[in-house]
């Protein structure tokens, strides 16, 4: 039986990844900052909370990281921990940098210290690319981060690359474009949209207030994206991969489809509020996932319309 450690197991990706690894016969350890008080709501929703060994770990504290690795003795580590909101990173830049960049560095250094051939996956982000114009970003596209979150993720990416090249570690990064699911908290705009559309369809009069709805993104289905993470770690050699659907649409399109799914015209219920705009934002996020298709045999099956419909259906079930 293989043992995997998921850092940040309580989040959307961590929960789906834990489910995937359990289904493949792994023993799974998962961390959060305080496992004693965390609700692990997502693990509960998937019905797997009691099947995971839960540990407390502070990624920015090397001693804490080393203790967890020593206790879990994993063959694979999936680093999904850290402050995960682009918007919040403007308000908490230091926390964002420490939790992502310092946390990743501590994990890499602990792996190097312990030896033993641990395989390491790092959650990268398409936010690192910044505004690449209308070109589809791939693994060779330069980074131009436009938020503290993106800066932190870019630093973590290069830490992984450095440890892979300097010390021969099996360390890889998945450069994931936006991926959603019903496990998203409502601080993420997609879940905010879905929840509001369903509430309004039930008679609530309060309109949905959003920032810039002209931004364009590549939206995929989170349960498929954790499969890509797993496949990266199973490769004979570590490498980095862009993970995306290859289809880009505007946030306005996402909103319109969500309201269409509940039988409403979005223009009657949505307000674009300039005060909600970010200090800097990415106008267009476009991806070329050809390398993942070619080398991992991974290709997104859910397109953005499937993602919206599935999220609406689950939300309606929760509100019923």
- How, if at all, do strands 53-56 and 119-125 pair? unpaired
- 162: Cα within 13 Å, side-chain hemisphere: 10
| Residue 129 DSSP class | G
Query: Cα–Cα distance between 274 and 203 in angstroms, integer?
Result: 26
Tell me which residue has tokens 């694979």.
Answer: 76
Active site residue 127: yes
Please pick, among 10, 89, 125, 147, the residue that the annotation labels catalytic. Answer: 125
Non-local CB neighbours of 75 within 8 Å, separated by 6+ positions: 2, 3, 4, 117, 118, 119
Secondary structure element (H or E) that encloses residue 216, with its range = strand 216-217
98 labelled catalytic: no
Nearest Cα to Cα of residue 125 among 95, 102, 99, 156:
156
The backbone torsions φ and ψ at residue 30, rounded to the nearest 5 degrees and listed phi first, read -135, 145
Catalytic residue among 76, 98, 127, 180: 127
Q: Which residues contact 221 (CB under 8 A, 6 or more apart)?
A: 179, 180, 181, 300, 301, 302, 306, 307, 310
Distance CA 17, CA 159 (A): 23
Known catalytic membership, residue 125: yes
Between CA 317 and CA 107 the distance in angstroms is 39
> Cα 210 vs. chain centroid, distance in angstroms?
21
Question: Which residue in 16, 26, 29, 149 is the catalytic one?
Answer: 149
Active site residues: 125, 127, 149
């Amino acid at each position: 039986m293989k043992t995997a450690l998921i850092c940040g197991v309580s989040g959307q990706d961590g929960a789906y990844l834990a489910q995937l690894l359990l289904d493949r016969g792994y023993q799974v350890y998962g961390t959060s900052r305080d496992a004693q008080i965390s609700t692990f709501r997502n693990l509960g929703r998937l019905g797997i909370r009691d099947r995971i060994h839960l540990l407390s770990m502070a990624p920015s504290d090397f001693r804490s990281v080393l203790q967890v690795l020593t206790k879990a003795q994993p063959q694979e580590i999936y680093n999904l921990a850290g402050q995960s909101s682009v918007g919040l990173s403007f308000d908490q830049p230091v926390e964002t940098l420490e939790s992502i960049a310092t946390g990743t560095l501590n994990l890499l250094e602990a792996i190097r210290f312990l030896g033993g051939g641990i395989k390491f996956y790092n959650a990268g982000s398409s936010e690192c690319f910044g505004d690449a114009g209308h070109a589809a970003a791939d693994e060779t596209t330069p980074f131009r981060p436009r938020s503290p979150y993106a800066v932190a993720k870019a630093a973590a990416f290069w830490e992984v690359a450095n440890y892979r090249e300097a010390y021969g570690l099996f360390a890889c990064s998945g450069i994931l474009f936006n991926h959603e699911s019903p496990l998203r908290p409502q601080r993420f705009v997609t879940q905010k949209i879905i929840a509001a559309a369903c509430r309004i369809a039930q008679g609530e009069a309060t309109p949905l207030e959003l920032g810039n709805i002209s931004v364009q993104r590549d939206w995929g289905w989170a349960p498929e994206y954790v499969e890509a993470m797993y496949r990266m770690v199973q490769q004979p050699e570590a490498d980095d991969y862009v993970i995306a659907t290859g289809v880009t649409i505007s946030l306005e399109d996402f909103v319109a489809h969500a309201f269409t799914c509940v039988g409403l015209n979005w223009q009657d219920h949505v307000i674009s509020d300039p005060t909600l705009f970010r200090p800097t934002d990415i106008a267009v996020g476009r991806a070329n996932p050809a390398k993942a298709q070619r080398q991992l045999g991974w290709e997104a099956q859910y397109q953005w319309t499937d993602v919206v419909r599935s999220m609406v259906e689950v939300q309606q079930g929760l509100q019923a």
